[in-house]
Amino acid sequence: MLISEFAKAAELPIDTVRFYIAKGLLKPERSLKGGSNPYQIFKPDDVTAARMIRLQQTLGYSLGEILALNGEYRAGEHSPERTVEVLESQIARLEERRAALDAALSFLRGKVDWIKAGKPDSAPRLDDYQC
């Protein structure tokens, strides 16, 4: 598929796809068609790769970390043990984020309850929550 089709399939803006290509995160094949600007041809597996990049960014991975992980995968260095290690790392990052979000939600809910109760006593303090 061409870049516009790929961007739609991956649910990404074309500029983001081009950015990923420029950073080496995606490596589409090049076609001889297109004259001095060869077409970039994407495979269905590239859609999965693009979605993984987005997930990894959401988890807080830097582009350098993502590039290194993708490099390992492309080089065939992804043993089951390494895959489990990476997945467990991603799970840990999500759990940390969930804990921070849960604390932030508790603080905000406490603040809403305090306001609805007419602001008795002192307001909930952000310092009392592990956000």
pLDDT for the residue numbered 79: 80
pLDDT for the residue numbered 50: 94
In a structure prediction context, what are the per-residue pLDDT tens digits for the chain, which is 131 residues long?
A: 889 999 999 999 999 999 999 999 998 988 767 667 778 899 988 999 999 899 889 888 899 989 988 888 778 777 888 888 888 988 998 899 899 999 999 999 999 999 999 999 999 998 888 76
This model's pTM is above 0.85: no
DSSP codes joined into one string, the chain? --HHHHHHHHT--HHHHHHHHHTTS---EE-STTTTSPPEE--HHHHHHHHHHHHHHHTT--HHHHHHHHHHHHTT---HHHHHHHHHHHHHHHHHHHHHHHHHHHHHHHHHHHHHTT--SSPP-GGGS--
pLDDT for the residue numbered 86: 83
pLDDT for the residue numbered 102: 95
What is the rounded distance in angstroms from the CA atom of residue 41 to the CA atom of residue 27? 9
pLDDT for the residue numbered 51: 92
Q: What is the dihedral of CA 80, 86, 89, 94, to 10 degrees?
A: -110
pLDDT for the residue numbered 80: 85
